[in-house]
Chains A and B, each alone.
Chain A
């Protein structure tokens, strides 16, 4: 066993400028693609909601345009100011919020739907109200992204309750699904799934983001604390910029490297009574461009209680993932890294190998990536630094993706941070190199501009994507781009 420390990887912004922090990088240099012809300097934003929510969202976005002051804090870098979103700020991009881009849904009808006992039908109808307005706006005004602003009463009616037994630590977790949970349908997930029929991505905005309501716990518990307004502005605008086709940052290159794409393989339970476990793949490159692919069924092994694919299904899934990636991004990488959220068996390793080789990719690393229970402690108030890397044996390693952060001069989390484990099932690269990649990929979550993410995006995306895919009928149209899922 041995321990090491991995430096915080830098990100690249406009003009090739680099910084470790997303928000400081964007504020000082601007988005990576700022000088590209395809950069979204002007984003036509569709907005669907009740008159009250539309008014609230527009007012907030107009306020954000000029900047939001930082939350008072003695730690210099943890809560930076939101610089504003306009052609005059580093974002060099503006939101167009014309009335022609707005679609109203009837508040009274939504309220009645929220009170109905047949929850499933009522949820479907409320989603349909939003989507039919969205289709109308898309047809007449060609927005690049649609914001849906449901009122608080609707979300109260169709929120999910958290399952008992959760310990209250960091919520991000990765690992194999144990057993089928009770079927649950949430407004957000159904909206996104049905929203695939639109040609543009949807961004749902919660009332507490723009100040229409106090924070309610999404999961039926007590009210939890809201992020400060500048942070909410940061996260919302970066997500919008990405969904509009922009590239806010990329992982900075460190030298002569293969073009690599990173594939997360995970599973979700179907909603129907058969409780089938279905596989899915999330493919990302170093620019964070992502595509999603749904695969075939998996079986839960009775011995190791992990989901496994048949050899042919594994080959087929990885080929679909790489082909979809090639179709969307017009190139194929020289190297593929696969992060599976559960252990591999021999058939899967053989299947993934066959599939990757059939796509003429010569270099590959197959790893399982999971939230680990191994923890490290310092003899002090703060937990170990993010980047602390522990090798347990030749194949098994753990990494603190969460932990104390030197740039923030603190530990911006609760309790004791979890570690992320990875196991080298069939790898060509060394463990330190692969750990550095995982650390960098933890900074590719477009919904979170605080860079100390607890999971690499390959794995983090799995839960969100699975929650949406389970609402998409087999054979129904899927959107490939990750922007439709986040």
Chain B
């Protein structure tokens, strides 16, 4: 008895559809390429945007087939329908303001080629020459003459007169495309809501630390001691703080009175508090190297260290933030530590506080003491690193700062952070083209640097 064969049914799923505009756009470009090749010239398609340049015509001498070293930039617009006001001899084509604004910038000639591939028609105009007339620039409408403006093999001679030699240094405006930019301004999401102020006989910060020695607790650094006044997020009515100040003078205020004060002295005091709170929040895994004015991952026990981070989507990753390696010098072996680090400033912009965070490195010879070649090693690493690697570090630091406690430790109550501030810019870079010019080595470096970024960005 044969087993019954199960019939297989493919699951119903939506199939990919090619947008009509994309097909038509490519048909227009293909049509241009066909004519360019018939001219004996070369067409190079670029990675286009809607407003940018679709391709470049490279002119060749038709008789000798030698490259003339001259190029023309082309914007292609294809249609299947009738053009506006179309007759047997003329038609008009409306341009968008942002298109024209882009095309007229720079000194490189730009051709607008409008085509209707299904009827084998294409017409062209030199944008900068056409819109040099202010009235035309206002109307944004190009009037085409089907006989004089036809884009065909016969247009070659006219194209030659338009073209400019590359020795002139031809340029257009940067590519009009939307790009995401990330700043190193990490949002301060919250700070201690209240500040406590009291008179104190203490003069030095050491005097405050001394009060904590007997308690077994680490002395916090989030306080200001100035003119015999103690200011802190901590409640001065509680021990051991209460022993340091005159209880009869303890007052509490909303922190906002310092954070957004018009007086620069008060804002400076608030920054000092934030600096102390940052040190307290990051302790013990990240410590302040005061002399170098940076924070760095530390490891009292010595050894390599990794941290895990979690992105908003839940995706996880890890990074080595403390690397140990040995090096030889004069026949002996030495250990060196490379710590992830950052320099920082707190800034107030538009009514919000930010941590301006600059990733860097710290080199020590034992996990604590600065390596005598720290500056030189830092210079060396900065010669090799590129923007993606630095951004990746910034994003990992930002994730680390946003962690809010776990099973083993409560969240630090006096300071918390959000993500770095982002922006959207409407001009960008054609990276693929630039990297092609820089060469294979640059492409390889770019790819490896990009992989560093892909793990930490969403």
Chains A and B belong together in one complex:
yes
If A1-B350, A373-B358, A392-B350 touch, does A380 touch B431 (CB 8 Å cutoff)?
A: yes
Given the complex of chains A and B, what is the CA–CA distance between A393 and B350 in angstroms? 5
Q: Contacts of B36 on A, CB cut-off 8 Å?
A: none
A430 at the A/B interface (Cβ < 8 Å)? no
Q: Does A274 contact B (CB under 8 A)?
A: no
Q: A303-B264, A407-B171 are in contact. Are A377 and B182 (CB under 8 A)?
A: yes
Is B80 in the interface zone, CB < 8 Å from A? no
Report whether B174 and A406 are in contact in the complex, using a CB–CB cutoff of 8 Å: yes
Q: Which residues of B contact A27 (CB under 8 A)?
A: 167
Q: Which chain B residues in 406-439 approach chain A with CB under 8 Å?
A: 421, 423-429, 431, 433-435, 437-439
Q: How far is the CA of A10 from the CA of B410 in the complex (A)?
A: 57
Checking B184, B349, B382, B429 against A378 with a beta-carbon cut-off of 8 angstroms, the contacting residue is: B429
Contact with B along A357-397 (1 / 0, CB 8 A): 00000000000000001111111111111011010110010
- Let me know if A168 and B382 touch, CB within 8 A: yes
Q: Is the CB of B375 within 8 A of A377?
A: no
Closest CB in chain A relative to B297 CB, distance in Å: 19
B-contact bits for A402-424, CB 8 A (1 contact / 0 none): 00101101100011100000000
B387 partner, pick from A5, A7, A377, beta carbons under 8 A: A377
Contact yes or no, A381 B387, CB < 8 A:
yes
- In the bound assembly, the distance between CA atoms of A375 and B427 in angstroms comes to 17
Whether the Cβ atoms of A167 and B183 lie closer than 8 Å is: no
Q: Choose from A23, A25, A304 the contact partner of B264 (Cβ within 8 Å).
A: A304
B360 CB within 8 Å of chain A:
yes
Known contacts A304-B264, A390-B183; is-contact A20 B171 (Cβ 8 Å) = yes
Point out the residues of chain A lying under 8 angstroms from B181, CB to CB.
Answer: 3, 376-378, 384, 388
CB closest chain-B residue, reference A414: B383
Most buried by A among B343, B375, B380, B433: B375
Asked if A382 and B425 make an inter-chain contact with CB atoms under 8 angstroms apart, the answer reads no
List chain B residues, Cβ under 8 A from A221.
376
Query: Using Cβ atoms and an 8 Å threshold, which residues of chain A touch B183?
Result: 374-377, 390
* A60 contacts B by Cβ under 8 Å: no
The answer to whether B349 touches A393 (Cβ under 8 A) is: yes
Q: Is A75 at the interface (CB under 8 A from chain B)?
A: yes
Complex formed: what's the CA distance from A74 to B343 in Å? 37
Chain A residues near B106 (CB-CB < 8 A): 20
A3-B181, A74-B439, A416-B390 are known contacts. Are A380 and B169 too (CB-CB below 8 A)? no
Is B383 a contact of A28 with CB atoms below 8 Å? no
Shortest Cβ distance from A386 into B: residue: B174
- A475 at interface by CB-CB < 8 Å: no
Given the interface contacts A409-B434, A416-B387, does A303 sit within 8 Å of B268 by beta carbon? Answer: yes
Q: Which of B105, B167, B379, B457 contacts A379 (CB 8 A)?
A: B457
Q: Mark B162-192, 1 if CB is under 8 A from A, else 0.
A: 0000111101111100011111110000000
A382 to B175, CA, bound (A): 14
Q: Does A24 contact B (CB under 8 A)?
A: yes
B140 at the interface (CB under 8 A from A): no
Inter-chain contact A165/B171, CB cutoff 8 Å = no
B437 neighbours in A (Cβ, 8 Å)? 74-76, 409-410
> Could you tell me if B383 and A415 are in contact, using CB atoms closer than 8 angstroms?
yes
Task: Tell whether A216 is near chain B: CB-to-CB under 8 Å.
Answer: no
Q: How many residues of A contact B (CB 8 A)?
A: 55
A379, B421: Cβ atoms under 8 Å?
Answer: no
Q: Is the Cβ of B426 less than 8 Å from the Cβ of A406?
A: no
- Per-residue CB contact flags for chain A residues 309-332 toward chain B (1 = under 8 Å, else 0) read 000000000000000000000000
Chain B residues touching A, range: 35 or more
Q: Which residues of A in the span 124-145 have a Cβ within 8 Å of any Cβ on B?
A: none
Contacts of A94 in B (CB 8 A): none
Contacting residues of chain B (337-362) with chain A, CB-CB under 8 angstroms:
343, 345, 347, 349-350, 356, 358, 360
| Residues B350 and A74 in contact, CB atoms below 8 Å apart | no
Does B145 sit within 8 A of A, measured CB to CB? Answer: no
Q: Closest CB-CB distance, B68 to chain A, in whole Å? A: 15
Chain B nearest CB, measured from A470 CB (Å): 25
Shortest C-beta distance, A299 to chain B (Å), equals 17
Chain A residues with Cβ below 8 Å from B268 are 303
Q: Is the CB of A169 within 8 A of B184?
A: no
Residues of B within 8 A of A410 (CB): 434, 437-438
Q: Which residue of A lies closest to B343 (CB)?
A: A373
B421: A residues at CB distance < 8 A = 1
A80 interfacial by beta-carbon distance below 8 Å:
yes
- Residues of A near B174 (CB, < 8 A) are 5, 385, 387, 406
Q: B175, B387, B423: which contacts A390 (Cβ < 8 A)? A: B423
CA gap between A76 and B437 in the complex, in Å = 8
Give Cα distance in the complex from A379 to B457, angstroms. Answer: 9
Tell me the complex Cα distance, A205–B107, Å. 36
**With a CB–CB cut-off of 8 A, which chain A residues contact B425?**
3-5, 384, 388
Quick one: which of B268, B421, B429, B450 has the most chain A CB within 10 A? B429
Which residue of chain A has the shortest Cβ distance to B423 in the bound complex? Answer: A3
B385 CB-CB contact with A under 8 Å: yes
Q: Hey, which bits of chain B sit against chain A, CB under 8 A?
A: 105-107, 166-169, 171-175, 179-185, 264-265, 268, 343, 345, 347, 349-350, 356, 358, 360, 375-376, 378-380, 382-383, 385-388, 390-391, 394, 421, 423-429, 431, 433-435, 437-439, 445-446, 449-450, 453, 457
Having A24-B168, A168-B382, one finds 16 other A-B pairs with CB under 8 Å, namely A3-B181, A5-B174, A19-B169, A23-B169, A77-B171, A167-B378, A221-B376, A373-B184, A374-B183, A375-B184, A381-B387, A384-B425, A406-B171, A406-B174, A409-B437, A415-B382
Can you report 15 A-B residue pairs in the complex whose CB atoms are below 8 A from each other?
A1-B423, A7-B105, A20-B106, A25-B169, A376-B184, A380-B387, A380-B450, A381-B445, A390-B423, A392-B350, A393-B350, A406-B172, A406-B429, A410-B437, A416-B390
Closest 10 CB pairs of A and B: A168-B379, A24-B169, A381-B446, A377-B391, A3-B423, A392-B349, A393-B350, A406-B174, A74-B437, A415-B382
